[in-house]
Structure 1
Amino acid sequence: MFCKVTIISSMRFALLDNQRIEATPRAVGSCPSCKADMVARCGTKKNWHWAHRGRRHCDHWWENETEWHRTWKNQFSSDWQEVSARDETGELHIADIKTPNGLTIEFQHSAIKLGEVVKRTNFYGQVIWIIDATRRPTDAIQYERMLEDNYPERFDGVDIYTVYYEETRLLKEWGALGVIVGFDYGGDNLCLLTAAQGYSRYLFDFPKAEFVRRVIEGKPLPVVQFAKPVQRRYRRRRL
């Protein structure tokens, strides 16, 4: 269902006669956000996509898409994809997914500075970050070693790990954010990270299909609501 292919693309949609359209050969359109002219890129090596004509992308937060991005976004309605809004300064930002309930989902493949993550999180408010955890091979190794060093607590039918928030490189990068973060290691489950107490964090596997279903139906993730803190000592691992 979710494959890992590093094919780079840009925006999926442009506007033609106020209708969102996808790129096709010789199509014309404008950017739904900044209204600039868009060029349809329809080659054989990359996903068909739209690119701004003669200028950088109108949202400096925007990350060029991989097939990983596109596959995730296609799990949701096209009306929820690439939704733009302006901050208090008038600067434009485009959410990967924005639901009618106000939830934003951001899919992040490339490296990103913590300061920018915090700015985006503060701007969107209700946001879930999904991280491509296959980009660095060592992240999966560190993840497996961390689970070997911890014992899960069974709660509501789910194995919940309470881990130190800097125990791996990914946790150091994302563990202090204070919102739900999903690490995608390429399987059928997301590894969901939620805040616990102090330096502790909850970590548990959650099916991707169920995650998508709950977002579409506007339902919360039940394990996050009912999990309880577990007191445990943690060994800091050298990364």
Structure 2
Amino acid sequence: MKYALVEGIRLEATTGVRGNCPGCSSPMIPKCGLKRLHHWAHKSTVACDRWWEPETEWHRGWKNQFPAEWQEIRHIASNGDVHIADVKSASGSVLEFQYSAITPEERAAREAFYGRMVWIVNGNRLKRDLPSFQEALTYAPSAETKARSWLLSDQDSAIIGRWRGGSHPVFLDFGDADFSSPWLPSTGLIWWLTYIPRGRVIATPVHRQSVIDHFLSGTPIRGFGRLKPPPSRRSALPGFEAYRARKDARRWRF
């Protein structure tokens, strides 16, 4: 965990300091080595939140895009279980940054518990996920949406298949992976997956910063404009040439 309570104040891990878990109040000790992120760990081997996963630099990078007071927010379920949301915005939206594998049952339980939430998923955990996603885009048709997007089957890519069946938005973060497209930026891109009936999904590339800004201040998430079809050659012909083209089109062809 990034924060523990030290004399009632939320603080990051510091060598020589002792704290208590914001979730269960049990003792925590700081882990401030050179190989891993500085973090707090329960003194016992039992974590209070069964949904918690070890934090990576990827987690921490996403968390740090949001105010400290939005991070690691404690919730108590009706059965007394403690759950700590990665980020909870001022408007009440929960953002869960998922790196580890997750079962469909746990995913459904989290969605039901938090209600208003989105998933931001690390797409680089398994080596095959990025190539299969890129290949799926290569053969997919464009989707009929305002922003440029692709219409895929939820079986076209392993990572798309693993995240089907939920009821909340999913964003795939492949870092600075190259999608070999002249109109996509080389950095600052994530993919918004919208699952629709009949096993289909719309994959929309959007600006990563616009997703962050959306939860910070409510501004729209920004994608990319659709390609405009080239102008018709016939309509582009001036005067007499347009007349001849229409006349020629009515002639019989043998």
- Which of the five TM-score ranges fits, normalised by the shorter chain? 0.7 to 0.9
SS in 2 for 1:195: strand
Q: Which residue of 1 aligns with 2:171?
A: 182
The residue type paired with residue 170 of structure 1 is I
> Is 2:218 the partner of 1:212?
no
How far did 1:165 drift?
A: 1.9
How far did 1:130 drift?
A: 0.9
How far did 1:155 drift?
A: 4.3
CA distance in 1, matches of 2:16, 2:131: 46
Q: Could you tell me whether the CA contact under 8 Å between 2:207 and 2:221 is conserved in 1?
A: no
> Is 2:43 the partner of 1:53?
yes
Q: Which residue of 1 aligns with 2:195?
A: 195
What's the Cα RMSD here? Answer: 1.7
Unaligned runs of 5+ in 2: 177-187, 224-254
CA distance in 1, matches of 2:172, 2:218: 21
Unaligned runs of 5+ in 1: 1-10, 224-239
Q: How does 1:1-239 map to 2 (within 5 A)?
A: 11-153=1-143, 155-156=145-146, 158-187=147-176, 188-219=188-219, 221=221
CA distance in 2, matches of 1:148, 1:222: 22
How far did 1:218 drift?
A: 2.9
CA distance in 2, matches of 1:176, 1:168: 15
Quick one: percent identity of the two aligned structures?
33
Counterparts in 2 of 1:124 and 1:72: CA distance versus 1, 3 Å: same
CA distance in 1, matches of 2:35, 2:195: 41
Instruction: Give the TM-score, by structure 2 length.
Output: 0.79
Instruction: Give the TM-score, by structure 1 length.
Output: 0.84
Q: With CA pairs under 8 Å and 6+ residues apart, which has the higher RCO, 1 or 2?
A: 1
Q: Report the count of equivalent residues.
A: 213
Counterparts in 2 of 1:57 and 1:110: CA distance versus 1, 3 Å: same
